C-alpha cells in the first residue's frame, strides 16, 4: 500500500511490480527492499519499528526504485502510569494526579479519557484528589477501557490545631 499505516512492532506486506517503458509488467522481477521504518525482508514484509514516525519502504530492481510512504503509529493501550506514583497528603488537603497511557513499547498515547476513583477520599474527573479527614493508606486509580493505573496514597495527620487536657476540672488532695 502507498501510503501505509502500520502499528508499531507489527508486520505489513508490501508488493512491488516492475514495468517496462510501455507500462507492461515485468514477470519474475526480484526486488531489493529497504526501509527506514523497521526491518523488511526479501519478500517485502516490513516489521515496523517500535517508535512512531513516518518514512519509506523502497523496492529496487535493475537500478530503478519505487517507494511507498509508511506511517508507523502507536499501538493499543497497554498500561497507565499515574503521577505522582506515591503521595503523602494531609487530612482534608488536595493533590493533583495525572494519568498517561502507553502502548506495549512505552509510546505515549493521546486522546485517552480516564475514569478516576479512590478509596481514601474523593477524586474528581480531572484527577484532583481530596484526602479524607482521618489518616490511613489507600489508592487513587485511573482507568481507560479495561486498563487501570494505580498510585499509592498515605493520608497523614494535619498540623496541631488545639490541645485538650483531662480531667478538666479536677480536685487533688494535698500531697
pLDDT in tens, 146-156: 999 999 999 99
| Mean pLDDT, range 128-151, rounded to an integer | 97
What pLDDT shows up at residue 107? Answer: 98
Residue 72 near residue 54, CB atoms below 8 Å: yes
Pick from 24-33, 131-140, 154-163: least confident = 154-163
Whether the per-residue pLDDT at 159 is higher than 90: the answer is no
What pLDDT shows up at residue 71? Answer: 98
What pLDDT shows up at residue 168? Answer: 87
Whether the per-residue pLDDT at 116 is higher than 90: the answer is yes
CA atoms of 173 and 3, how far apart (whole Å)? 97
What pLDDT shows up at residue 160? Answer: 87
- In the chain, the percentage of residues whose pLDDT exceeds 70 is 100
Beta strands in 62-127 (DSSP E): 64-73, 79-83, 86-90, 94-96, 98-102, 108-109, 115-118, 121-123
Residue 155 near residue 138, CB atoms below 8 Å: yes
User: Strand pairing of 115-118 and 79-83?
Assistant: unpaired
Residue 144 near residue 101, CB atoms below 8 Å: yes
Q: Express each pLDDT in 51-81 by its tens digit.
A: 999 999 999 999 999 999 999 999 999 999 9
Looking at the DSSP bridge assignments, the partners of residue 151 are: 140
| Mean pLDDT, range 106-113, rounded to an integer | 97
| Mean pLDDT, range 110-128, rounded to an integer | 97
User: Strand pairing of 115-118 and 136-144?
Assistant: antiparallel
Amino acid at each position: 500500500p502507498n501510503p501505509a499505516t502500520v502499528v508499531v512492532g507489527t508486520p505489513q506486506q508490501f508488493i512491488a511490480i516492475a514495468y517496462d517503458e510501455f507500462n507492461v509488467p515485468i514477470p519474475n522481477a526480484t526486488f531489493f527492499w529497504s526501509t527506514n521504518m523497521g526491518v523488511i525482508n526479501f519478500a517485502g514484509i516490513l516489521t515496523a519499528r517500535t517508535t512512531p514516525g513516518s518514512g519509506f519502504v523502497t523496492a529496487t530492481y535493475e537500478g530503478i526504485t519505487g517507494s511507498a510512504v509508511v506511517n508507523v503509529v502507536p499501538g493499543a493501550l497497554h498500561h497507565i502510569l499515574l503521577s505522582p506514583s506515591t503521595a503523602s497528603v494531609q487530612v482534608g488537603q488536595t493533590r493533583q494526579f495525572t494519568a498517561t497511557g502507553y502502548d506495549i513499547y512505552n509510546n505515549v498515547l493521546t486522546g485517552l479519557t480516564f475514569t478516576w476513583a479512590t478509596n481514601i477520599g474523593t477524586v474528581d474527573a480531572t484527577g484532583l484528589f481530596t484526602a479524607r479527614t482521618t489518616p490511613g493508606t489507600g489508592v487513587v486509580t485511573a482507568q481507560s477501557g479495561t486498563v487501570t493505573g494505580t498510585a499509592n496514597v498515605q493520608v497523614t495527620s494535619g498540623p496541631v490545631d488545639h490541645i485538650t487536657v483531662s480531667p478538666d476540672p479536677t480536685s487533688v488532695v494535698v500531697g
